[in-house]
Structure formats: C-alpha cells, structure tokens
C-alpha cells in the first residue's frame, strides 16, 4: 500500500487505511485490495469485546469508508452512525466532524438537502475551529464529487474555491486527490482544462513523491483525455505511451480499462483499425479484474467500442445495432459515475454513423441532432464537430438552408477556438509535457549508465556481479566499524510463478522492490547498498552499523511486504505475498564474504521456521 507505515498495532493499521482510502479516488482503488480490507475490518468487528472504544470507532469508521467507496451507501451510513456514537463517547471532535462530513454526502445523495447542509456546516465549523486544513480540503472535495452536476454552479464554484484555499494551507499525502479532482472538475464540468491542468500538475507531483503510482497515472490519463476531446489524437497517444514505462506496470484494472477505451478511440479515429481492435481485446482481458461496482459500465464501454470498430473497419455491421442497443441500455441504468465522460454524446455519434451506413437518413439525422444537443455540455471542439456532421447530413438530404445554417455555426465555433488561443496553449502544454518526460527519461538513462555492468535493469538496485565483487574483498568492505548483511527472499515464489505465470512473478518482484526502496529512503545511501540476486532474492549490505539497526531494518522489510497485501493464492504461509529475512552483524573489519554466508544461513533458518519471519544468525 503506497502510504502504509508498516504499523504492527491494530490502531496504526486502521489509521493507515484511513489515509489510503481518503487519499485515493474511487477509480484508483483495486477491487481485490478493497475486498481484502473489508474482510479484515469485518473479522475484527466480530471480536470487539477486547477492544477499547477508540479502536471500535476506527473499525466502524473504516468500514463506512469502504462501503462508501463501493457505493453501498445505506451500509456506510449504518457504520458511520455507530462510529459517531463512539466518537461522541470519547469526545473526539475531529472524528465526529469527519463522520458528519460523510453523512452529509449520504443525505445529499438521498435528496435530503436540508439535513445534508446542516451536517456539512457542523463539520465545517469544527474543522475551522481546529485549523484542520487537510480535513477541510477533503471535506469540500468529497461533496463536490456529487454536487458537480448541479445546474446552478454558484455553490459548486464556491466549494471549489474553498477546497483550493484549504489545500494550499495543508501538507498532506491526501492532497493529491484534492488537486486531481479539482483539475478533473474544471476539465469536465467547466470545459476549462487549461485552468485544471495546473491542479493536475500539482496532483502528479504529490503522487510521485508519495509513490502513489495509481493516482499519478490517473493525472496523466486526465491530461491525455483533454487532448482527445480536442481531437489531438497523436498527443493523447504519446502520453499513453509514457504510461507503458515500468513504474506504471501495476496500475489497477479500473484505470487500465479507462485508458484502453481512450487509446482505442485514438486508433480508430486515425485509421489504425487493427491496433484499435487489439486495444479492445486488451481491455476485455482486464474487465473481469475491475472493481465490481464499475464492471458493468466497462462491459457497456466494451460493447460500444466493438460497434465503433465495426463501423470504422468498413466490414459487416449486422452486429452493430445489437451492440449499441445493449450499451445504451446499460448506460441508461448506470449513468452515475460512468467511467467515460459524455458517453451519451459518443453513443449518439455511433448511432448516427450506423444509420448513415444503412442509408436510413431520418434516423441518422435524429441522432445527429441528439449528438449536437449533447455536445453543448462537452465544449466548443465537440460542438464544432457535431455542427459539421449536421451540416453534412442536411446537405445529403438536399436541405441547403439548414446545411448552411450549421456550417455557419461550425465556423463560429472554429473562430471562437481560434480567438481563445486554445490550440496554441494546448500545444505549449504538450511541449512542456514532452520536455518533462524527456528530462525524466534522461535521468533514468543516466542512472542506468552510471550503474554500468553492476545495475539491475528490473529493480534499479545493484546486481549479482556487484555482490560478487564485494565477496571477493579481503577485508571489511567499509574499512572500519561493524558491517552487516541482510538476505531477503520472496516466499513461495515457485508456486507463485506456477499459479500466476512468469510475467506476474516479475511484477511481484518489482512491487517488493518498490516497498524496499521506500524503506531504504529513510537510511543514509552511503551506508546502505541493496542488490538483487537469483531472481527473487535481495541482499542488503550495511556500513558501520549496530545490531538494533540491522534487526529493525530486517523486521520492517518483512512486515511492510506483508502489510502491502499483494495477493498470493499459491502461498502456504499467507493469502498475501510474504518475505523471509536472515541477517548477521560482523566483527570490526571482518570480511563481508563471511558475514554474507552467515546471513544466508539465517535466511535458511527463517524459511525452516515457517517463512514470513526475520531471523538473526545465532
């Protein structure tokens, strides 16, 4: 988990969950993970007799937030009401306010705006009195996610200004979500992506620092989507190419499905038909792993994309009508929180193309008019496009007056776009994006080059050749003090490979390496060297250290890998991936070779003792 501290006590773990769920947007949560957290919370709620009131409060609070993320609002309210009882009992004003903030969302969704406003204002007063700017920023952005579609945007704008005011005063890992949603709302609701892009940039930087790869990827997806809506397909595809870099390989199925839907649209719109079909097939592979409460919507998008492919390929279109009908049906039942913006606009465009191919000009005109009406919510580029389609249809029907009317409208939108200098501004943004991407790639290449023959390309750590050089040294590698070695190995990796495949094992190794890298960031890089050897084994070499530091580091690696809850059905130790560790502290100036051998034997003892443990050489 990107923000877990590796807390061993229950309260620490529950607070880690709060940071995670409140700092990650709904589309960025992996369904497998959230179900595991739900099972953990529910199992602990079955044994509350031994817990104090604060722990029970945290359990019910987390339970409510999980239900909220899964769109099970009635169950969320029940959990929050129980949590509120405990918060009032122990006099926790912050949690009382946090709970009222979420309950305000519940009543807003149920249409009780008066009760919603009362709870919202009560929470606001508490947060303001305590100067809790991080809570205030989330407080406003959470309800904005539901209020953003209000016809009267006065309060929406006011709440967005408040969210921005408070997020500037706050320093929280959760701010990435606030900035992401601000950027998304400006882009989607107000068609002002240029204003939103600055918030997306802030979100990306915060997520990168916090190692929240999922949300960082989402910011890039929103940026690419902005280009797609301007019909700048090549620019959008270049951003999606960036997301093929190794650091993004483990993003969730939810986000992969959304990205592939856009990538398909880019390919089909630029005549790269077979690449579009490959993207559709790729999306199909991820849908079954998407979050359960969004899976049907992705099925709908997939049906629509298949229909779009058939229309673009010029082949047999007999299946198009049934595919579009099914997509339309699912969309009508699941409009709220749909993963593709302005889907009614896109559906109307596909129907228009279908009836045009069928030479049913009346139905084609009907959907062209519907598309034009829908485009009024999408921005001027979409309005220009749909006005042009209407003009063409009226021309085919011989209605010159209407054709000319919509040509003038199309021309007017083109002039408006030119006057606002929108396209050049997007071009400058894209140049900046390319420059940042090149700078990052150059830095990575420089790091690889400096590593030379001793660099491990998969993890970025040192490799086995480097470790062999250490083993050949005649005396202590670090000249003075006591050196130490920790050997870490992924448990049950052979079974993992058999169950999930070699590619997934490689991804698992990268996940574990990322966790190790986060832990290593707290140590002096001049005193700690990490190597990857034998595929799934890591070796830590520490300079001038003591037994407490070595022990704590080994135990932290074991506990944080377990806490990350990387699913592993093949393990005979745990439902999650675990690692074992063996460590040894040498005598002053002792050869590193000897210390390494003893640490390796200690690793063997850890495996024999049941795995998932850190064991010292006796």
Greatest CA span in the chain, whole angstroms? 94
**Can you name the residues that pair with 585 across neighbouring β-strands?**
484
First to last CA, the chain: 33
Give the relative orientation of helices 422-451 and 213-229 as an angle to the nearest 10 degrees. Answer: 140
Listed residue (101, 193, 575, 125) closest to 382, CA to CA = 193
Tens of pLDDT, residues 540-556: 999 888 889 999 999 99
Are residues 463 and 612 both part of a single domain? yes
**Following DSSP, what letter does each residue of 222-277 receive, concatenated?**
HHHHHHHHTT-HHHHHHHHHHTTSGGGTT--HHHHHHHHHHHHHHHHHTT-HHHHH
What is the mean predicted confidence (pLDDT) over 512-524? Answer: 87
Are residues 470 and 414 both part of a single domain? no
- 8 Å CB contact between 161 and 171: no
Q: Is the per-residue pLDDT at 335 higher than 80? A: yes
Lowest-confidence segment of 196-205, 521-530, 609-618 by average pLDDT: 196-205
What is the signed CA dihedral for 151, 157, 163, 166, rounded to 10 degrees?
-160
Lowest-confidence segment of 238-252, 400-414, 516-530, 548-562 by average pLDDT: 238-252
What is the mean predicted confidence (pLDDT) over 313-321? Answer: 85
pLDDT band at 471 (very low <50, low <70, confident <90, very high): confident
Residue 515 lies in a domain: yes
Residue 529 lies in a domain: yes
Are residues 403 and 459 both part of a single domain? no
CATH number of the CATH domain containing 394? 1.25.40.10
pLDDT at 580: 95
Are residues 489 and 581 both part of a single domain? yes
What is the mean predicted confidence (pLDDT) over 490-502? Answer: 85
∠ CA(489), CA(457), CA(525), 5° rounding? 70
Q: How far are the Cα atoms of 280, 559, 609 from residue 548, in angstroms, in the given order?
A: 53, 16, 22
Are residues 351 and 397 both part of a single domain? yes
Q: Is the per-residue pLDDT at 316 higher than 50? A: yes
Tell me the torsion sign for CA atoms 56, 62, 63, 64: positive
Q: Is the per-residue pLDDT at 54 higher than 90? A: yes
pLDDT band at 615 (very low <50, low <70, confident <90, very high): very high
Residue 34 lies in a domain: no
Residue 464 lies in a domain: yes
State how many domains the chain has.
Answer: 2
pLDDT at 578: 93
The dihedrals phi and psi of 378, each to the nearest 5 degrees, come to -100, -15
Give 175's contacts (C-beta < 8 A, 6+ positions apart). Answer: 23, 134, 137, 167, 202, 206
pLDDT band at 6 (very low <50, low <70, confident <90, very high): very low
Q: How far are the Cα atoms of 174, 223, 264 from residue 236, in angstroms, in the given order?
A: 27, 8, 11
Structure tokens at 237: 């595809």
Residue 307 lies in a domain: no
What is the 3-state composition of the chain as percent helix, strand, coil, each rounded to the nearest 5? 70, 5, 25
Q: Is the per-residue pLDDT at 341 higher than 60? A: yes
Structure tokens at 320: 């198009």
CATH number of the CATH domain containing 556? 3.30.70.270
- 8 Å CB contact between 119 and 105: no
Query: Percentage of the chain surpassing pLDDT 70?
Result: 91
Listed residue (348, 11, 29) closest to 177, CA to CA = 29
Are residues 466 and 602 both part of a single domain? yes
**Residue 194: CB atoms within 10 Å:** 17
Tens of pLDDT, residues 87-143: 999 999 999 999 999 999 999 999 999 999 999 999 999 999 999 999 999 999 999
Q: Is the per-residue pLDDT at 230 higher than 90? A: no
Listed residue (321, 383, 400, 401) closest to 353, CA to CA = 321
- 8 Å CB contact between 24 and 215: yes
The dihedrals phi and psi of 542, each to the nearest 5 degrees, come to -110, 140
Distance from C-alpha of 606 to C-alpha of 99, rounded to nearest angstrom: 44
Are residues 481 and 598 both part of a single domain? yes
Are residues 472 and 558 both part of a single domain? yes
Residue 476 lies in a domain: yes
Query: Could you tell me which residue, 379 or 345, shows the higher pLDDT?
Result: 345
Are residues 467 and 610 both part of a single domain? yes
Tens of pLDDT, residues 390-435: 999 999 999 999 999 999 999 998 888 777 666 676 667 667 767 7
Residue 138 lies in a domain: no
**Residue 421: CB atoms within 10 Å:** 11
Residue 467 lies in a domain: yes
pLDDT band at 32 (very low <50, low <70, confident <90, very high): very low
pLDDT at 522: 82
pLDDT at 120: 97
Query: Could you tell me which residue, 298 or 211, shows the higher pLDDT?
Result: 298
**Could you give the 3-state DSSP secondary structure of residue 531?**
strand
- 8 Å CB contact between 224 and 264: no
**Following DSSP, what letter does each residue of 86-121 receive, concatenated?**
HHHHHT-HHHHHHHHHHHHHHHHHTT-HHHHHHHHH
Are residues 467 and 560 both part of a single domain? yes
Are residues 472 and 611 both part of a single domain? yes
Pairing of strands 537-542, 528-533: antiparallel
Give 164's contacts (C-beta < 8 A, 6+ positions apart). Answer: 182, 199
What is the mean predicted confidence (pLDDT) over 330-356? Answer: 90
pLDDT at 377: 83
Complete edge-to-edge strand list for the sheet that includes strand 579-585: 528-533, 537-542, 484-490, 579-585, 614-616
Task: Show the domain range for 381.
Answer: 342-424
pLDDT at 365: 95
Distance from C-alpha of 36 to C-alpha of 26, rounded to nearest angstrom: 16
Pairing of strands 614-616, 579-585: parallel
Listed residue (305, 283, 382, 301) closest to 339, CA to CA = 301
Print the SS3 string covering 548-583.
HHHHHHHHHHHHHHHHCCCECCCCCCCCECCEEEEE
Are residues 366 and 504 both part of a single domain? no
């Amino acid at each position: 988990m990107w923000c877990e501290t590796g807390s061993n006590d229950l309260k620490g773990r529950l607070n880690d969950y709060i940071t995670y769920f409140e700092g990650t947007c709904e589309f960025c949560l992996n369904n497998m993970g959230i179900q595991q957290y739900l099972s953990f919370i529910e199992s602990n709620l079955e044994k509350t007799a031994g817990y104090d009131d604060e722990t029970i409060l945290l359990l019910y609070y987390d339970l409510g937030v999980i239900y909220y993320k899964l769109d099970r609002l009635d169950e969320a309210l029940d959990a929050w009401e129980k949590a509120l009882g405990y918060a009032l009992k122990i006099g926790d004003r912050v949690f009382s306010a946090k709970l009222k903030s979420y309950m305000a969302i519940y009543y807003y969704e149920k249409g009780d705006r008066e009760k919603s406003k009362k709870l919202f204002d009560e929470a606001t007063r508490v947060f303001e009195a305590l100067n809790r700017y991080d809570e205030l920023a989330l407080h406003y952005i959470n309800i904005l996610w539901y209020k953003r579609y209000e016809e009267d945007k006065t309060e929406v704008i006011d709440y967005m200004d408040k969210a921005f005011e408070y997020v500037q005063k706050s320093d929280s890992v959760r701010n990435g979500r606030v900035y992401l949603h601000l950027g998304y709302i400006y882009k989607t609701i107000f068609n002002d992506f240029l204003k939103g892009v600055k918030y997306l940039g802030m979100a990306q930087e915060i997520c990168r620092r916090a190692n929240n790869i999922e949300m960082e990827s989402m910011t890039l997806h929103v940026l690419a989507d902005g280009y797609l809506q301007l019909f700048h397909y090549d620019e959008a595809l270049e951003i999606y190419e960036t997301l093929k870099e190794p650091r993004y390989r483990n993003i969730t199925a939810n986000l992969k499905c959304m990205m592939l839907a856009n990538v398909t649209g880019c390919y089909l719109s630029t005549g790269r038909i077979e690449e579009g079909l490959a993207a559709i097939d790729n999306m199909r592979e991820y849908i079954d792993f998407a979050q359960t409460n969004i899976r049907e919507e992705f099925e709908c998008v997939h049906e629509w994309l298949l229909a779009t492919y058939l229309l673009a390929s010029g082949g047999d279109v007999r299946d198009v009508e049934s595919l579009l009908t099914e997509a339309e049906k699912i969309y009508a039942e699941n409009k709220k929180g749909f993963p593709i913006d302005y889907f009614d606009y896109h559906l109307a465009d596909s129907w228009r193309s279908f009836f045009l191919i069928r030479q049913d000009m009346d139905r084609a005109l009907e959907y062209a008019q519907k598309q034009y009406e829908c485009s009024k919510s999408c921005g001027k580029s979409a309005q220009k496009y749909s006005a042009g389609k209407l003009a063409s249809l009226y021309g085919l029907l011989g209605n010159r007056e209407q054709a000319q009317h919509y040509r003038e409208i199309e021309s007017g939108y083109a002039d408006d776009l030119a006057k606002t200098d929108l396209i050049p501004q997007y071009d400058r943004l894209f140049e900046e994006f390319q420059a940042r991407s090149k700078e990052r790639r150059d830095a990575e290449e420089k790091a690889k080059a400096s590593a030379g023959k001793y660099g491990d390309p998969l993890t970025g750590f040192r490799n086995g050749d480097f470790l062999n050089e250490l083993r050949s040294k005649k005396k202590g590698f670090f000249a003075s003090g006591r050196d130490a070695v920790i050997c870490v190995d992924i448990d049950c990796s052979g079974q993992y490979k058999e169950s999930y495949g070699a590619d997934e094992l490689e991804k698992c190794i990268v996940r574990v390496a990322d966790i190790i890298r986060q832990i290593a960031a707290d140590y002096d890089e001049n005193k700690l060297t990490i190597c990857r050897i034998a595929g799934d084994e890591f070796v830590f070499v520490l300079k001038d250290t003591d037994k407490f530091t070595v022990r704590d580091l080994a135990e932290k690696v074991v506990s944080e890998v377990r806490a990350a809850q990387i699913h592993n059905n093949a393990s005979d130790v745990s439902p999650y991936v675990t690692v074992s560790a063996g460590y040894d502290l040498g005598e002053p100036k002792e050869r590193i070779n000897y210390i390494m051998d003893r640490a390796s034997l200690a690793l063997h003892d850890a495996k024999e003792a049941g795995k998932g443990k850190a064991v010292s050489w006796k």
